[in-house]
Structure 1
Amino acid sequence: MLITGLLLSVMGLSIIGACFINDRTIMESRGQAVAEVVDTSLTRTVVRFNTEDGRVYIPPNGVIYPTDLQAGQLVRVEYDSRNPDLVRVAGRTAMISLLPVFSTLAVLWAVLLPTYWLLRRSDRD
């Protein structure tokens, strides 16, 4: 049980690390554009924007940090000009990932530790 908790914690921290890596990559070769939100779903938010070289681009994996976006909305985005697949809503950073990941891990451990303690206690009796 503790190993599962540790694995889930490592996964959560890896998500945060990946977000910071994505932000750093975008900042190294940042392009900016105004994007139209084409579609939103549970798994991704699709945007369409013009790159600096004039190409219309729709990243296949959608935009990162898409909270509160709706189809038809125009938003400023920042993208990696070397790889426009990596695009985020302007002004949003990896800091957004901290609250959901840490709150999920807090709930995980708040349930897991007492459960582990109760199971260990009942095994001794």
Structure 2
Amino acid sequence: MFGLLLTVMGLSIVGACFINDRTIEESKGEAVAEVVDTSLTRTVVRFNTDEGRVYIPPNGVLYPADLQAGQLVRVEYDSRNPDLVRVAGRNMTLSLLPVSSSLAVLWAVLLPVYWLLRRPTAR
């Protein structure tokens, strides 16, 4: 049951990435953003929307790998909701490797444990 729960959670992450990317594509705005701060949980960027408003998404940017504070990077965002922003040229395919490798390790551990626990004991 634990393995199924984690598998559903992993697949939900990939699904959420797909939905976010599709939402951005439906009403895409583009900008050059400055990376304000990077931490373990999020990467904060600041950019100007098409209306000229300076915007800092509270949840950070999607797909922030290898970004550093002070760096300028092209971003794509949902013009209806600038909270949803990703690094330009990056998409949900970047979530496939970490999710699939995590699930592979999970099942490589759980299946042998399940097999050992289900084996009939010798009398």
Q: How many residues align structurally?
A: 122
The CA distance in 1 between the partners of 2:44 and 2:116, in whole Å, is 46
Percentage of pairs with the same residue: 83
Question: Deviation above 6 Å: which 4+ runs of structure 1?
Answer: none
What TM-score do the two structures reach when normalised by structure 2? Answer: 0.97
Q: Which runs of 5+ in 2 are unaligned?
A: none
The answer to whether 1:50 aligns with 2:85 is no
Residue from 108, 111, 119 that aligns with 2:109: 111
Q: Which runs of 5+ in 1 are unaligned?
A: none
Equivalence for 1:27: 25
1 or 2, which has the higher helix percentage? 1
The answer to whether 1:124 aligns with 2:95 is no
Aligned CA-pair RMSD: 0.7
The CA distance in 1 between the partners of 2:3 and 2:93, in whole Å, is 23
Deviations 1:19-75, CA, capped at 9 Å, x for gaps: 000000000000000000000000000000000000000000000000000000000
Q: How does 1:65-76 map to 2 (within 5 A)?
A: 65-76=63-74
What TM-score do the two structures reach when normalised by structure 1? Answer: 0.96
Cα offset, 1:15, TM superposition = 0.3
